Structures are given as C-alpha cells and as structure tokens.
Amino acid sequence: MVSQLNGRSVISIDDLSVSDIEAIFKTADDICTNPHDYFGKAAGKIAATLFYEPSTRTRLSFEAAMQRLGGGVISTWDVNASSVAKGESLADTIRVVGSYSDIVVLRHPWEGAAKLAAEYSPVPVINAGDGSHEHPTQTLCDLYTLREHHLTLRGLRVALCGDLLNGRTIHSLAFALARFGANVIFVPGDGKEIPDYVRRRLERDYHAHIRREQLGVLSALFGDAPSGEEPATVDAIYVTPSEPHQLAMSSIEGTTVEFRVGSGEALSIYVTRRQRERGGDSPEAARYPTLTARALKTSQFKDISILHPLPRVDELSPEVDKDPRSLYFRQAALGVPIRMALLWHILGLGDGGQSNRREAYCRNVQGLGYSQPGIDCSNKTCITNKEKEFVHPQFEVVRNGDYKLRCLYCDQETATACFGNTESRIYYPSELLDRVLPPISPGHLRFFQSPDAAEAAGYRRVADSWDRYHPEPGKGRKSWLDLVSGRSR
Amino acid sequence: MVSQLNGRSVISIDDLSVSDIEAIFKTADDICTNPHDYFGKAAGKIAATLFYEPSTRTRLSFEAAMQRLGGGVISTWDVNASSVAKGESLADTIRVVGSYSDIVVLRHPWEGAAKLAAEYSPVPVINAGDGSHEHPTQTLCDLYTLREHHLTLRGLRVALCGDLLNGRTIHSLAFALARFGANVIFVPGDGKEIPDYVRRRLERDYHAHIRREQLGVLSALFGDAPSGEEPATVDAIYVTPSEPHQLAMSSIEGTTVEFRVGSGEALSIYVTRRQRERGGDSPEAARYPTLTARALKTSQFKDISILHPLPRVDELSPEVDKDPRSLYFRQAALGVPIRMALLWHILGLGDGGQSNRREAYCRNVQGLGYSQPGIDCSNKTCITNKEKEFVHPQFEVVRNGDYKLRCLYCDQETATACFGNTESRIYYPSELLDRVLPPISPGHLRFFQSPDAAEAAGYRRVADSWDRYHPEPGKGRKSWLDLVSGRSR
Amino acid sequence: MVSQLNGRSVISIDDLSVSDIEAIFKTADDICTNPHDYFGKAAGKIAATLFYEPSTRTRLSFEAAMQRLGGGVISTWDVNASSVAKGESLADTIRVVGSYSDIVVLRHPWEGAAKLAAEYSPVPVINAGDGSHEHPTQTLCDLYTLREHHLTLRGLRVALCGDLLNGRTIHSLAFALARFGANVIFVPGDGKEIPDYVRRRLERDYHAHIRREQLGVLSALFGDAPSGEEPATVDAIYVTPSEPHQLAMSSIEGTTVEFRVGSGEALSIYVTRRQRERGGDSPEAARYPTLTARALKTSQFKDISILHPLPRVDELSPEVDKDPRSLYFRQAALGVPIRMALLWHILGLGDGGQSNRREAYCRNVQGLGYSQPGIDCSNKTCITNKEKEFVHPQFEVVRNGDYKLRCLYCDQETATACFGNTESRIYYPSELLDRVLPPISPGHLRFFQSPDAAEAAGYRRVADSWDRYHPEPGKGRKSWLDLVSGRSR
C-alpha cells in the first residue's frame, strides 16, 4: 500500500490528517523496536538541509535520521554568506537545491517561506521553521512523546506554560492537541497570553469550550507555596472539546487512540522558554511560569509529565532533570525516530520504490479564498512581501471580530477597512459585511485597506441610511461568510 | 578498459581532451538512465570539499554526486575561520586534507590556487573555482546541457551575453565551444567586452575566423523593439571555425558529434549575471543584455535555448522561467550526473578497482616555457605571489602584440620591456624579438621588466643601428617563437 | 572478545592504559593493510562532531574515519551562532546531541568541558580538545607515527621543541612517552619552559630521572653553526626513566614493545608551533627552536625523524618537507586509521554487536579527593566556573611545594593558604600540613583560600608555639598525603 504521505510536502501540522500522524507514529514505534530493518533503505537518496537560520538540534536530528536510513545529506546552514550575498531568491535556490536532492528540509527567517519553497521545489519540502510561523516536526515530537508516556492523547490535560503569545509552534500544538481530543490549559507569563484569534479558532474549528478557572495546583509554577496557602488568583483557560462526537466525526478519521475524555487525571506540563531573539523590543514578562524541583513536591503532581521543546533559559531548573517525570530529553531523542518515520513515508521507502508524487503542497483553503493586486500582507517579514517577483499574496477571508484577510503564506491577518461590490461599484465599511444580503458573490468582492483606497478606485460609499434597512443578523442566522463559502456550520 | 581520466586532476577545461569530455558525457547519459547501477560504487571512498569562498550550488552538487555514488564527504566551507586564521598555507592544508580523502574539490579566492593544490596533493584535485580564473565543471555542465538539448554542438550558434570581460569561465566556455565546432557570438554589456587576448587565442589556437556583424535579432536583448524597427547598431563578434578540416584533425579526436557546420539555425542564448562581488571598483555597465519574456516573442527565437550559470541578478526575468526554451534550471540539475560521471572516471570506479594514478596535473606548456627569479606574475592575487615558499612563477612565452609571459598558474599575462642573451650580455627591446636571428636559444634567454633592470643585471643595450640590419620578418616568415619552440604553424 | 574500550569515553590520554593503546595501534595496523575489511561495518551508526572552536584537521579526520567505516556524521562547527546564542549549556546540548548519535566528538574552548560532557552524555565522548587542556587523539597519532617509523618507543629519545609552557597536549605527550619507556628531551623557546608541576609529575608518577645537559647537536635548532663551533650553552632537560624495572611493573601491562632503553641512537625531533591565539598577552619568545634544511645537515641527524602536529607557522621550514626524515604529513595522514581504530573499539564494531557500555568516564582519583563548597577552581575558563548549575568542583589533593588542589576537570592547581580540622575548629598554615600528626582524617579536612576565610568560618589559628613541638618530618618519613591516602611510596 502506498503511503498517503508519499511525495507530499509538510509545511504545517495542519497538512497532516490524524491518520497521517498515526501512520507516522506507527512507523516510529517500529523503528524504535527494529532499527536494523530501516538501515540502508534510503541508499542513493539525498536530503538537503537548507538552514537560513541557525538550529543545531532540528538540523542534526534530520541529518541523523536520513543517515540512519542510509541516505546522504547535503547541507548548508550559513546560507547568508553565499547565495543570499549574491542576491539569489529563495525561489531560485529551492529549484536548484531541489534538483540535487530527493527532499529538502528548510529553515528560513521569513514567514511563509516554506510554502513558497514547496510551490517551486521539484521535490517535497519539510518546513523546519519559517520565521515565527510553523515548525510541524516539533509538534510531531511533542505529540509522540505525550502518546508514548501517557498511552493516549484523548482526555489528557496539557498545560501550555510560558510565552503563548509569540511563536506559532505553541499555537499549532494547541490545535493539534484539540484534534486528538486532549484538553489544553493555558498558563501564560504576564503579557504573553494566547492571542485572541487562536482562541477563536479553537472554538470555531475545533468546537472547543473555553472556560476560565483558578490555577489551582499549577500556581506552584509561579513560585507560590506549593500547598497549605490560598491558591493564586491567576486565571487559566481550559479548552475542552465541547462536542466530542462531532469532533470524532469531523477530524479524527481512523484513529485508534482510546477515548477517555474527562478522565482528568493525567496531566502534562509543557514549559516554553522566554523568547529573547524574536520580538526583542517587548519587555520581558514580570511573572513567568517556572518549574523548580520544589514546585514538583506537591502530591497532586505525582503522575504528571514534564515537556520542554528546548533549549531552555531559566524557566526550567536543572534540578528537575533527574526527576523521572521529566521527559524533555526523551522528547528531544524521539526527534530522530519521528523524523526517520516522516522521511520514510514521504520518500516512499516502504512502498517498494513506487512513486506517488502528487501535488507539491496540498493544503486547501477551508473558507473563501481571496487574491487582489493592491492588498499586501500586513506582516513585513512575510515571504509575499520579500519575493514579490515569485509569489502573489493570497488570503482566506476570516471573521475575527470584523472580517479580515488571513495570509495563506504566513497565517497572519490583515485588516480591511471596507469592501466593495465590483458590479455596483459601492463600498461598505467592513463591519457591515454580515448585513449585505443577498451576499456579494465572491467573484464580485473587493477589499480595501482604507476608504480613500476605495474612493480612489472609483467606488462610492453606501448611503448612510442603508444600515437601517439591513439589521444585524440574529443568533442562529448564517453569517455572510458561511453563505458564500457554502459551509453549513 | 581503464579510464583515461583515472587519477587525474582537473584544473582547467583545457586539461580535458575532447574524448575525455565525450567519455564523461557518455557516463552521465548512462547515470541519468540507470542511476541504480551507480549507487554504492564509491563505498569507503571520501571526497573532501574544501571551500575557501562561499558557493552553495557547486559544493552541494559535488556532495550530492559523491553520496549518490555511495561515497562519503568531508567538508569545510568556512576555512577562513580555522586553518587560515592559524596562518596555514594552502600547500600544507592540501597535503593534509588530501591524505584524509580520495579526491579534493577546491574553491579558493586566488588565481592558480588549484594548480598549486594539484602539485602538492597526494590525490586528484578538481578545481571548483580559483578566483576569477577557471571553473571547469561549470563548463562541463554548460556543454552537456547544450548537447542534450540540441543533440550536437557542431555548428550550433551560442550567444555569450553580458559580462565577457571578467571571469575566465566565460572565456573557457568560448574555447571549449570552439573545440567542439560551435560558433560563438559575443554580446557584451557596455565596457564588458571580451579581452583581446581571448580573441587572439581563438584565432591562433582554434583557427577561428572572427567577423563583426550587426546584432540583428539579438538586439532585442537590449530592450529594443523586437521587430519592425531599425535593428540596433551594436556590434557582435562571430567566431566561426575557419578551417573545419584542420580543426577536426588537431583537436577533436574520437568525437562522435555530428558535423553540421553552417546549418546556422540552432541558437542558444547564454546569459551571465552582472558581476558585483569581483572588481567592485569598476562602474556597472550602462547597457547590459537582459532577457525578458517580451524579447522572446520574436518568431526567430522560436527554436532557441536559454542558459544561465546562476545565480542571476536582474539580467534574466523570472517571467521567462516557465518558458519551455529556458534550460537554466535543467542546466543546474545536470550538475549532479555530470559530477557523478567525473568522479566516476577520476576515482576509477568503473575500472574494477584498478588504479591508474599518474601525474597529479598534466597540462603541457604548448609553447616555450620560461622561469626566471626576479620576474613575478603581474596578477597580485595569483597564488605565485601569495605562497612564495611553495611555488615559483612559471610562464609560457606568448605573442600578444609584443611578447609577453603568460603565467602557468593564473593564465594572466605579464609584460616584458626587454630581453637579453645570457651569452652576449646584450639586451633588446621586446618588440625586436622577432628580428633576432639566429634565435637566442631558450636556455640563453632572459626577460626584464624594465631597461633599468637589464642594466642593473650587467646587460648593455643593443646598438641603435642594429635594427637597420635586421628588417622585420615578412609575411610567411616564421616568428622567433615558432623557431625556438619548433612548432611549424 | 569484547574490547576493553567498548562504550568508554576518552577524555585524556591517561584514560587509556598501555594495553588499550596497543590494541588501538594493532587495529590501526590492520586497517592500513586491509582497509576493505572495515568498510561498511558502522552502517546505521552516527558520530556527532560538535566543534565549538574551529579545527579543520581534527574534525575532518574524524569525519573521514567514521565514513570510511560506513557510518554517518552529523556535524556542527560553528555552534556559537546557534545554541550558544540561545543560551544553552553544554550539559543540555550534549544530552540532546548524544541522544541523536552513537558517539560524540567534542571540541570546546573551556578546560574540563569534555569531562562534563562525558558525565552527561548518554553515549561515549571523545575529547578533540578542551581549551588548553587535553587532546588525546593527537597524542595517539604522535605515538603511532613514532612507533611505525622507529618500530619501538622504548629507549627512543624524543626532543620536544618549542612552546612547552602552554598547551597541555605537549605535557600529555611527555607523560605518554614516559609510560612507553621513551626518553624525553625538553628544548623550549625562551620563556616557554615546561612547567614545574609537569616535571614533578614525571618524577613522582613516572619515576623519571631528570638531568640538565648541554644541548649538543640540538643547538643547531637555534640557528647556531651545525658543527665545528662551540656548542650552545642552552640547557635541556633529559627525562630518563630511572627505574626501568619498576616502571615496567607499574604502568606497562601487556605491552609488546621491545625493550631497548639506553640504545640512545634513535632520535625524534618534535617541533611545535609558536602559539599565537592563546595567551596572546605573553610576549613572543625571542629565541625559539626552528628547523631548517641547513640544521639537518649534521651527520648526527642522519637517523632522526621529524614530527610536527601542524599547522606550522615559521618554526619548520618548507624546505624540509621533501626530506625523507620528515614524518609530519605522514603523522597527519595516520590520523584517519588511528581514529578509525579508536571508533572501532569504542563502538564495539569488532565485538559482534555486543554492547559493553559501562561508565561514561572512568578516570580514578589516584590520591585524596576533595570537594568543598566555597573552594572554586582558580582557572577562570574551567568548566566548573562556567556551568555551575551542572558541575561542582572536585579536586585531588597534591603536593606541589605546599599542598594544592588539582582540579579534576581542568587539571590546573589551586593554592590553599591554610587548612582546618572540622572537629577541633583549628586551622593551620598550608606548609604545616606534613607536621600534623596524627593526620586529620580526610573527612575532617577543610581547605581555605585565606586565613580570613578560615576565621570567617569560625576557625581559630593554631598556637604560634605549636610548630616547636611538631618538627618537620625527616627523610624517609611518610608525608601526610601518603598517610591519609594509604599509598606506600
């Protein structure tokens, strides 16, 4: 049977279905048990590791994985000094390096770079980090470590601690945990709260029920007395899948994980480091969840596991290292079998050499796609603002308060001040979008980033009295977005 | 049969005979068809890639080639920070790294560095670029791509466009094309014309007939209207082998390329980038040939091919990338099978393990060799000026206007003001050399860079009246160089 | 038979017994003779080369060695730019990288770093240089080259020339030569004399008899006339094992080297380069032993060998390179088979896959161990001063003049001003230690770095009259250190 992953790029953890992930985990299990069955199977194949930013652990684990399979590695991890200095675009580099190799592992400082690379590369691309955007193989390691230790992800409570604002990897992990039926608890440092749009997406796409609670035992992470005193008043957010049945139907196909929602006993604390290199202008969090040996003495922490994506700074004390509950070095070590399994499936090594090369990149726009010259992504380090000759911005129309354009490359949202109907040449303030009925068909929709831009394009503003005749849609009414995208949520 | 390339270094494309090149191409053809026959054949062998200058594509394609053959790679591409910082000479480094490996691939900023390396290395050296001097495997890729697409090189017209002044790789390509019977058209940017000595060598060594013509359809490269208007008046130089029969006798042994001189229909446009990192002091060309999608619309361009050694800057528009006439990404991709074939022959992998190790470097001085303490190469970045402890300058006496000394390391020419006879202790101005009869035997010849230097060495100037008795040699008479070198041109 | 080296770390040449070294040499002999028997035997294994400091030759020879055995290599040689920049400790990095690989080869700028790494790593660590401390595989190459050329080390005279002050590698080599029964002659540059503690250790641990002599023929190294003139008056130190029988008993177990002490004819000159990058503040030696072709013309130099660890600066003239007595490029080339042999034994490749993983690091404290909070190693770049969270300083009490604490990580000595008895709360000046009888038991010993520190800890000084009743121990009496450590020297 040819693997569903054969020939595919992996840009986001969202590119992988639950059954894709289960297939990877199953292969990783077998690699750990029977490593000799996998040696030499990639002989003659080449993986290119193309790192525009330093990363010791991700690069080395991919290179170890490829070589344990018997394949070769070509690598450059200081690209700045060579091609970039000669002014070469990523689109050109990926076409050349892709033609030398069978798979490219890419790390790049610009968000969306991996998606552009996958579009141009003649071979599959694995995203090993694109700016502050995605890092899907880290998420695979996290999930695999939790599954190995706790046997199932369903019903597991995972406390995501620390900097939940920056770094989409933590957001990706939250989405992936929700997909597998785990409960997520957010324990942010001051000013490092999870962004609103992530919360909204958890509610919208994963039917999560979010509630605020007192931290309880987790308040020990803030240095409070572990027991006997008043618990801290810091709030946490529990994400609990509200509709388990529907969830099972919609996103978990073919999974074999046991269903234990609400068992509520297993807890994992996932600590993240203070981000210093990105967003260095933001002040450091005054209160930041930190794990010490002392905090772990509470009896309620008896059965927990402790994860950390490493490297750490000072939020996880070395005293904890020898604690059997500490899984973070195990989590790092599992990076090799997980990446061996991923390479195995993408390179089709178990498929008898049969090639299943399909589209380079296969993520679908779930909602309404939008692309319009003149609308640029608001993220200055998005690849669409860097290599304009090679990529045009594309968006998904999302509702996040008012309607926004989510970039399909970097996932960041761009505000739109108003939108117009290309037939009537009338434009409306963005917040009126849900009242426009019948809906403007997607083909006649145009967004503007300011009323001036709309006027300059020859549109005129809708009459002031218009909204009196178009009241706000009531509860239960479909939004415009649902109507035009044909989704029946 | 043991390959003629077994154990040899490749410093210049001139080191490879036409039959060597054809043997490499034949192996590359077979590698493309039957790659699995080549996997694993270099097991236990090591290639060292020693890069003193950044180069992503050359290094990675060599490393992919070696590993696809099953060999190992040891690599350093930031040598400055290590050995060079400790003050180690290239001569020492190459002896050590050569003793660790079976072949060394070297890139170095100094002209002639690869020749010095080949002289000291215990294993074959492949020149992957020595300053602005040579880059023979790039030329192999160029020729192979043209041959694959146009089926033959003989009679093919190749327009070399852009910076024809700097970078000997373009000069090497011109010589190689001439050897294979292709016609070369020079289309330089302003001030980037092909140097005189290259033109002279094409005439002298390749019997090329050079004529100036109007650019015709190629003027579209300068942004002129592609049709219907007066053609531009920019001149181009056509190099056409003037004596095809003699050429076939003298340099093309055993080639199987079809003879189609003068078919004149197949045209390839070889675009080169604006050089910015070298010779940065020279102003940028005002007019520079640039390829856009619009320029290609002329019907006369229907059957052309487009090559570019990459990386590009702005002389080749990304719009052209999807055009089926664009071969430059194919040209890059072919770098791996070509380099696999080259490694295959040099390492003797097809020779049943039989070693044919001969001289490290085998290029012969074609004319009169010359070496004299006190005469240094005029190129300041020539290796002979950098590692004086390890190499003495050696020259070939060439006639380029008056007599000059061409460095056997960097190929650049050093002017000589006068020359002396070590027996008579008389010196003559350089331009009189052809009138000195009987010729000074090579063993008694000494060059000086100024009359003062000659006087200081105890030589006295020939009498003023001397030249009245020694008239200039007439047409048909052999030059002094022909006489002393015994060549009967 | 499972190799005694299987699963062990190699931090210092002292970690290897004479029989370990002989086993490595025997395997290296066989690799040189039958290389094909070793290809592919490490398939599926990974060596990580983790270089925090640049080193072309050590890194490349390890990588060549691993790949000739068929294993893979993951490498990072510019760690500063990645993990270190994110603030990761070596203790964390080694645990992660060690979990990706089967063996780690480490170079690090801090002394003792390799020992810390071996303590934390899940796989064996080979020290490829830790600051100015140890570099055991260089010593293996040196010994192997001498043995190959001179057939035996026993009785061989080795003149260690140049910078004998800095760089513990030269000290390690002296100890190793003494272990194998070679005689060592020190020929330092001005101000680069061998440190006292090395001389003392040669006497104490290797029973060496040290005598000063005139340089004799070796004075040619200082540019003096090679013969016919008065020999230079520069002194050298000859280290001659004084008690050959005892030596054979105590340290040379199972060696098969021929016993030729005193043959006195075979001489090797081991030249070392002027150290410039370390200790750059110290002035350059005015007189420095330098080897030129002219110096070698003396007939007494007929049968010598010349070694140099490379890279060289100006202390070894390139004229000497072609001299058949020059072994330094051979010495470099032998780095590959020696390192193949070392990897072979440590990875247990000859042991039928049988694992013999034992302790990560096995060097024993020979004397009296000491560890006390408040006493830090005096070497500022010792790992114990850099990663205080992960390692506590540990010392061996040594007698070097007065009693000192030798750091078990970096081997440097820390002075102690006085010591106290934790029972009586009395402290004594350090020089009185030998008179304290009955000895303070090790468990009640506490060192202080100043009398103030002792007073601050609540100790009071021994009465001034005390030493009148405790006369200095006479000749033949055991020192306090001998008494408490139970050693009967």
Nearest to A389 among B55, B276, B318 (CB): B318
pTM given for the model: 0.88
**Chain segment B121-138, per-residue pLDDT in tens:** 999 999 999 988 899 999
- Choosing from A282, A311, A346, the residue where a domain stops is A346
To probe the interface with C, which of A51, A67, A315 has the most C CB atoms within 10 Å? A67
Task: Say yes or no: A189 and A275 in one domain.
Answer: yes
Show residues of chain C in contact with B91, CB under 8 Å: 318
Show residues of chain A in contact with B312, CB under 8 Å: 88, 92
Report yes or no: B143 and B341 within 8 Å, Cβ to Cβ.
Answer: no
Q: What angle do CA A244, A250, A253 make, to 5 degrees?
A: 100
- Choosing from C332, C355, C387, the residue where a domain stops is C332
- Smallest CA-to-CA distance from A49 within A134, A3, A108, A7 is with A108
Residue C273 has pLDDT above 80, yes or no: yes
SS3 assignment, position B395: strand
Q: Which is the catalytic residue, given C135, C147, C207, C339?
A: C135
pLDDT at res. B161: 92
In this complex, do C99 and A333 lie within 8 Å of one another by their Cβ atoms?
A: yes
Nearest to A64 among C78, C85, C101 (CB): C101
Between chain A and chain B, the number of residue pairs with CB atoms below 8 A apart is 83
Show residues of chain B in contact with A72, CB under 8 Å: 63-64, 67-68, 73
Show residues of chain B in contact with A85, CB under 8 Å: 54, 277
Residue B326 has pLDDT above 80, yes or no: yes
CA–CA distances in Å: residue A354 to residues A1, A7, B38, C33, C396: 10, 10, 20, 42, 63
Say if C33 falls within a structural domain: yes
For chain C, the three-class secondary structure string (H helix, E strand, C coil) is: CCCCCCCCCECCHHHCCHHHHHHHHHHHHHHHHCHHHCCCCCCCCEEEEEECCCCHHHHHHHHHHHHHCCCEEEEECCHHHCCHHHCCCHHHHHHHHHHHCCEEEEEECCECHHHHHHHHCCCCEEEEEECCCCCHHHHHHHHHHHHHHHCCCCCCEEEEEECCCCCHHHHHHHHHHHHCCCEEEEEECCCCCCCHHHHHHHHHHHCEEEEEEECHHHHHHHCCCCCCCCCCCCEEEEEEECCHHHHHHHCCCCCCCCCCCCCCCCEEEEECCCCCCCCCCCCCCCCCCCECCCHHHCHHHCCCEEECCCCCCCCECHHHHHCCCECHHHHHHCHHHHHHHHHHHHCCCCCCCCCCCCCCCCCCCCCEEECCCCCCCCCCCEHHHHCCCCCCCCEEEEEECEEEEEECCCCCEEECCEEEECCCCEEEEHHHHHHCCCCCCHHHEEEECCHHHHHHCCCEECCHHHHHCCCCCCCCCCCHHHHHHCCCC
Q: What is the mean pLDDT of residues C215-244?
A: 62
> What is the pLDDT of chain C when averaged over all its residues?
81
Residue A78 has pLDDT above 60, yes or no: yes
Nearest to B329 among A43, A85, A99 (CB): A99
pLDDT band per the 50, 70, 90 thresholds, residue B252? very low
Task: Say yes or no: A260 and A273 in one domain.
Answer: yes
Q: Which DSSP string do the residues of A302-328 spell out, in sequence order?
A: TT-EEE--S---SSB-GGGGGSTTB-H
In this complex, do C46 and A54 lie within 8 Å of one another by their Cβ atoms?
A: no
| Pairing assessment for the beta strands A413-415 and A395-400 based on DSSP bridges | unpaired
Residue B45 has pLDDT above 90, yes or no: yes
More reliable by pLDDT, A144 or C351? A144
Task: Say yes or no: B52 and B173 in one domain.
Answer: no
Say if A27 falls within a structural domain: yes
To probe the interface with C, which of B92, B102, B391 has the most C CB atoms within 10 Å? B92
Lowest mean pLDDT among A333-342, A444-453, B114-123: A444-453
Task: Say yes or no: A311 and A424 in one domain.
Answer: no
Q: What gap in Å lies between CA A144 and CA A142, rounded to an integer? A: 6
Chain C residues with CB under 8 Å of a chain B CB are 35-36, 39-40, 54-57, 59-61, 63-64, 67-68, 70, 73, 77-78, 276-277, 310-313, 318, 329, 332-333, 335-336
Report yes or no: A300 and A266 within 8 Å, Cβ to Cβ.
Answer: no
In this complex, do C311 and B91 lie within 8 Å of one another by their Cβ atoms?
A: no
Q: What is the mean pLDDT of residues B391-406?
A: 83
Backbone angles phi, psi at C53, to 5 degrees: -135, 150
Residue A262 has pLDDT above 60, yes or no: no
pLDDT at res. B437: 53
Task: Say yes or no: C49 and C150 in one domain.
Answer: no
**End-to-end C-alpha distance for chain A, whole angstroms:** 35
Q: What is the mean pLDDT of residues A303-325?
A: 92
Closest chain B residue to A98 measured between Cα atoms? B333
Nearest to B82 among C55, C276, C312 (CB): C55
Q: What is the mean pLDDT of residues C32-47?
A: 94
Task: Say yes or no: C184 and C323 in one domain.
Answer: yes
Task: Say yes or no: C411 and C428 in one domain.
Answer: yes
Say if A352 falls within a structural domain: no
Domains identified in chain C, total number = 3
Task: Say yes or no: C396 and C455 in one domain.
Answer: yes
Task: Say yes or no: C377 and C323 in one domain.
Answer: no
Closest chain A residue to C98 measured between Cα atoms? A333
Distance from CA of A466 to the nearest CA of C (A): 56
To probe the interface with C, which of A32, A52, A56, A105 has the most C CB atoms within 10 Å? A56
Say if A2 falls within a structural domain: no
Q: Is C384 a catalytic residue?
A: no
Q: Which is the catalytic residue, given C27, C45, C49, C58?
A: C58
Enumerate neighbours of B (3 or more CB pairs within 8 A). Answer: A, C
Say if C478 falls within a structural domain: yes
Q: Rounded to the nearest 10 degrees, what angle do helices A136-150 and A56-68 cross at?
A: 70
Q: Is A192 a catalytic residue?
A: no
In this complex, do C79 and A64 lie within 8 Å of one another by their Cβ atoms?
A: no
**Chain segment C354-385, per-residue pLDDT in tens:** 554 444 344 456 667 788 877 899 999 899 99
Residue B307 has pLDDT above 50, yes or no: yes
Could you give the ipTM of this predicted complex? 0.85
**Chain segment A207-227, per-residue pLDDT in tens:** 777 777 777 778 788 875 445
SS3 assignment, position A41: coil
Nearest to C92 among A70, A311, A335 (CB): A311
Lowest mean pLDDT among A308-312, B480-484, C57-61: B480-484
In this complex, do B100 and C311 lie within 8 Å of one another by their Cβ atoms?
A: no
Nearest to A92 among B40, B276, B310 (CB): B310
Backbone angles phi, psi at C416, to 5 degrees: -125, 130
Max mean pLDDT range (A210-219, B27-36, B146-155, B403-412)? B27-36
- How are the residues of chain B apportioned to helix, strand and coil, as percentages rounded to the nearest 5? 35, 20, 45
Show residues of chain B in contact with A86, CB under 8 Å: 276-277, 311, 313
Which residue range is the domain that position B128 belongs to?
A: 13-134+334-346
Task: Say yes or no: C289 and C381 in one domain.
Answer: no
Alpha-carbon dihedral of residues B56, B58, B63, B66, nearest 10 degrees? 170
pLDDT band per the 50, 70, 90 thresholds, residue A484? low
Catalytic machinery residues of B = 57-58, 86, 107, 135
pLDDT at res. B485: 64
Say if A361 falls within a structural domain: no
- Look up the CATH number of the domain holding residue B123: 3.40.50.1370
Q: What gap in Å lies between CA B43 and CA B460, rounded to an integer? A: 65
Nearest to B39 among A44, A74, A87 (CB): A44
Show residues of chain B in contact with A95, CB under 8 Å: 329, 332
In this complex, do B83 and C335 lie within 8 Å of one another by their Cβ atoms?
A: no
Q: Is C308 a catalytic residue?
A: no
The number of CA neighbours under 13 Å toward the Cβ of B147 is 25
- Look up the CATH number of the domain holding residue C389: 2.30.30.20
Q: Which is the catalytic residue, given A27, A58, A145, A416?
A: A58
Max mean pLDDT range (B2-11, B53-62, B466-475, C58-67)? C58-67
Show residues of chain C in contact with A54, CB under 8 Å: 78, 81-83, 85
Report yes or no: A104 and A46 within 8 Å, Cβ to Cβ.
Answer: no
Structure tokens at C81: 């730019």
In this complex, do A76 and B59 lie within 8 Å of one another by their Cβ atoms?
A: yes
Closest chain A residue to B72 measured between Cα atoms? A72
Chain C residues with CB under 8 Å of a chain A CB are 43-44, 46, 48, 72-74, 76, 78-79, 81-83, 85-89, 91-93, 95-97, 99-101, 122, 389-390
Q: What is the mean pLDDT of residues A272-298?
A: 73
Q: What gap in Å lies between CA A123 and CA A118, rounded to an integer? A: 8
Beta-carbon neighbour count of residue B216 at 10 Å? 12
SS3 assignment, position B371: coil
Show residues of chain C in contact with A79, CB under 8 Å: none
Say if B469 falls within a structural domain: yes
To probe the interface with C, which of A31, A36, A52, A57 has the most C CB atoms within 10 Å? A57
Q: Which is the catalytic residue, given A45, A68, A135, A154?
A: A135
In this complex, do A389 and B59 lie within 8 Å of one another by their Cβ atoms?
A: no
Task: Say yes or no: B166 and B195 in one domain.
Answer: yes
In this complex, do B68 and A97 lie within 8 Å of one another by their Cβ atoms?
A: no
pLDDT band per the 50, 70, 90 thresholds, residue B142? very high
Beta bridge partners of C316: C291
pLDDT band per the 50, 70, 90 thresholds, residue A195? confident
pLDDT at res. A115: 94
Q: Is A57 a catalytic residue?
A: yes
Say if A353 falls within a structural domain: no
Q: Would residue C92 be called left, alpha or beta, if left means φ above 0 and alpha means ψ between -120 and 50 degrees?
A: alpha
Task: Say yes or no: B429 and B290 in one domain.
Answer: no
Structure tokens at C43: 């398939």
Max mean pLDDT range (B27-36, B407-416, C408-417)? B27-36
Distance from CA of B56 to the nearest CA of C (A): 17
Q: Is C363 exposed, middle or buried (0-12, 13-18, 19+ CB in 10 A)?
A: middle
